[in-house]
Amino acid sequence: MDVIRRSAKKSRMERIKTEHIKEMMGVKGNPNTIDIIEQKRLQWYGHVKRMPEERIPKLIVDWIQQEREKRGRARKTGMEGVQAAMTTGNLEPDQWRSREEWRLVSGRRRQLLKITGQTDRQIE
């Protein structure tokens, strides 16, 4: 939001609501950045999980570090982010096996419908 606020040349001192600034900049109806990141993360996860077992990206995703952990709070791993996105989207761990089903449940449904010109009601 800070980028949009600076682009509008409005400071927080002016106490203008976020919704008003989004309307001014024309991004009111656009999806949230975090939602887009979660969608892309799930797409990537499904892509990597369908790879053959000997591929390096798949080996890295399944790899578990064996070193001693450092002091302090551990950083959030990429897989923890994928697991969080899967729980918020009510996705099952093995749904990635079917590419068409994964596309529909991981957030690409709207993109696919725009390309084909269909609506949600026509599919259901």
pTM above 0.85, yes or no: no
Cα distances (Å, whole numbers) of residue 93 to 10, 90, 113: 44, 10, 25
DSSP 54: T
In this structure, the answer to whether residues 90 and 37 fall within a common structural domain is: yes
Whether residue 98 sits in one domain with residue 48: yes
Model confidence pLDDT, tens digit, residues 63-98: 777 777 778 887 777 788 888 888 887 888 788 888
Instruction: Verify that 53 and 64 share a domain, yes or no.
Output: yes
Same-domain pairing of 85 and 103 = yes
**117 in the same domain as 60:** yes
Number of domain units in the chain: 2
Structural domain containing residue 9: 1-30
On whether both 25 and 53 belong to a single domain, the answer is no
Q: Among 38-52, 53-67, 97-111, whose mean pLDDT is lowest? A: 97-111
> Is residue 3 domain-shared with residue 50, that is, in the same domain?
no
- Under DSSP, the state recorded for 75 is P
56 sits in which H/E element: helix 56-62
Burial of 91 (0-12, 13-18, 19+ CB in 10 A): buried
